[in-house]
């Protein structure tokens, strides 16, 4: 019996009072900025003050399926990277919380079976779990959080001091071949849709095909006919198309077909780390040309190449399993040796666990690395086409920005580089909201589905 791809694939409270005494203020200051990140006190104060008034938005946060249960209470400071308490402490105005379902394990041309209802049902169940989590937060904490269905909602909720949830969807696989499910999810509040995750699906090719799970690079040559139809449907519905994780061919085809701006919700420049998951200069330019935004992700392994120590350990591991050295050691993050396809699940598990252990020892990237990536993108495509994301709960986080309570530290890094407050406001949400405005206005009224308020 086959198991879900997730079992085998390698993956790589309340607002604080504004008026506080000097003594209390110092205590809070220590709590917010207890780690010495090397920024001058003046810069840290400016970052703090800016976040008291600036709308800030993280365009990709994943929800764990146990969020809100098992001690992971949404409104209390927990051990995870996202909760409402941390968002309030960090003065993060809103985030794209992702409705996500894993792809099927086998889907390449040599797959031992065709997609089955059982796999699709499980993927849809994972989507529903995350949607119920979002609905539950809105139901249980109405004074703290609400869903933003429009850009004006986002701005209004920011003014009210409420955390704004923007619903996005990652991975087309759970939708099967039913385009009408895009209409249904739009009615439920989805406002951004990404075709691809790890592995190809029947809509689009991924930047991370998995040969050891019978994937091959670009079997669709980019988008399928279904994927091409989906581009038009999403434009008509007023849903932002997210091109993160697509293959280059798929991204190029979306750029040709879409009449609205594109967003890469959580990507980094390939100039930082040369892997297909990152965006080439040409791909970033296509997104800019659409009027869109590249949201630079705080994901260590996408921002900085692996250290020589880690590279040596990985090649020792490969030698142990009779695998050749990696021709490009950054490709350790893009595993796909055809040799592995012949392994037993037990052998695969042994290899994967040792690989994870090595990667977990790799030092995290820094705020400087994130700043370098943002600066590179700004230099290549301009300040109006760059934003910021975390990919929290899916491997995201750099030293100094390890949860949503630490967004000020990113701002301090930008201030230290000479960015103006106006430009920082663009990076932290202004550019994304401008794209959302444009996408919403381009929707066809007859197809822009009525918004449904989430119910308990």
CA distances from 372 to 292, 322, 418, 441 (A): 21, 37, 13, 34
Tell me which DSSP letter residue 392 carries.
B
Query: Contact 242/194 with Cβ under 8 angstroms?
Result: yes
- Domain limits, CATH 1.10.287.650, in the chain: 306-363
Crossing angle between the packed helical segments 308-320 and 345-360, to the nearest 10 degrees:
160
274 three-state secondary structure: coil
Reading the block at residue 167, the tokens are 């619903």
Reading the block at residue 308, the tokens are 């020589």
Q: What does the pLDDT profile of the chain (456 residues) look like in tens digits?
A: 333 333 333 333 323 222 223 333 333 444 444 456 889 999 999 999 999 999 999 999 998 888 876 545 677 787 889 999 999 999 999 999 999 877 655 444 444 444 555 678 888 888 999 999 999 999 999 999 999 999 999 999 999 999 999 999 999 989 989 999 999 999 999 999 999 888 888 999 999 887 656 677 888 999 999 999 999 999 999 999 999 999 999 999 999 999 999 999 999 999 999 999 999 999 999 999 999 999 999 999 999 998 889 889 988 998 998 888 776 544 554 445 566 666 776 887 788 889 888 888 889 999 999 999 999 999 999 999 999 999 999 899 999 999 999 999 999 999 999 999 999 999 999 999 999 999 999 998 755 544 444 444
CA 178 to chain centre: 24
* Confidence (pTM): 0.86
- Domain limits, CATH 3.20.20.140, in the chain: 24-304+365-442
Task: Give the CATH class of 24-304+365-442.
Answer: alpha beta
Residues forming beta bridges with residue 387, ordered by sequence position = 295
CATH 3.30.540.10 is right for the domain spanning 306-363: no
Cα–Cα distance, 168 to 191 (Å, whole number): 6
């Amino acid at each position: 019996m086959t198991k879900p791809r997730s079992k085998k694939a390698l993956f790589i409270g309340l607002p604080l009072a504004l008026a506080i005494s000097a003594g209390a203020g110092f205590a809070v200051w220590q709590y917010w900025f207890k780690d010495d990140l090397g920024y001058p006190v003046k810069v840290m104060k400016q970052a703090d003050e800016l976040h008291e008034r600036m709308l800030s938005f993280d365009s990709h946060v994943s929800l764990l399926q146990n969020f809100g249960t098992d001690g992971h209470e949404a409104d209390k400071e927990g051990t995870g990277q996202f909760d409402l308490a941390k968002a309030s402490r960090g003065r993060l105005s809103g985030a794209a919380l992702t409705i996500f379902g894993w792809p099927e394990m086998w889907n390449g041309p040599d797959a031992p079976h065709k997609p089955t209802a059982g796999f699709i049902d499980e993927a849809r169940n994972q989507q529903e779990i995350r949607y119920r989590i979002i609905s539950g937060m809105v139901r249980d904490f109405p004074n703290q959080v609400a869903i933003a269905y429009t850009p004006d909602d986002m701005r209004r909720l920011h003014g009210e001091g409420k955390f704004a949830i923007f619903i996005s969807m990652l991975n087309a696989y759970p939708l099967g071949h039913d385009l009408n499910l895009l209409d249904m999810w739009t009615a439920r509040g989805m406002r951004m849709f990404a075709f691809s995750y790890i592995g190809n699906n029947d809509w689009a090719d991924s930047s991370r095909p998995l040969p050891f799970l019978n994937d091959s690079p670009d079997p669709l040559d980019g988008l399928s006919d279904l994927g091409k139809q989906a581009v038009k449907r999403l434009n008509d519905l007023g849903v932002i198309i997210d091109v993160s994780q697509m293959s280059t061919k798929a991204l190029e085809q979306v750029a040709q077909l879409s009449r609205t701006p594109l967003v890469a919700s959580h990507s980094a420049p390939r100039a930082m780390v040369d892997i297909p998951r990152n965006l080439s200069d040409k791909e970033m330019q296509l997104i800019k040309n659409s009027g869109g935004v590249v949201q630079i992700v705080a994901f260590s392994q996408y921002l900085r190449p692996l250290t020589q120590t880690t590279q040596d350990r990985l090649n020792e591991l490969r030698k142990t399993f009779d695998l050749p050295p990696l021709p490009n050691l950054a490709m350790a993050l893009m595993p796909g040796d055809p040799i592995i396809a012949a392994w037993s699940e037990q052998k695969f598990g042994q290899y994967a666990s040792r690989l994870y252990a090595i990667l977990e020892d790799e030092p995290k990237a820094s705020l400087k690395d994130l700043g370098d990536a943002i600066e590179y993108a700004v230099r290549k495509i301009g300040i109006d086409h760059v934003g910021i994301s975390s990919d929290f709960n899916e491997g995201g986080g750099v030293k100094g920005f390890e949860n949503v309570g630490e967004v000020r530290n990113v701002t301090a890094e930008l201030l230290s580089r000479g960015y103006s407050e106006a430009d920082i406001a663009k990076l932290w949400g202004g550019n994304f909201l401008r794209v959302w405005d444009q996408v919403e206005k381009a929707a066809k009224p007859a197809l822009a589905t009525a918004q449904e308020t989430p119910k308990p």
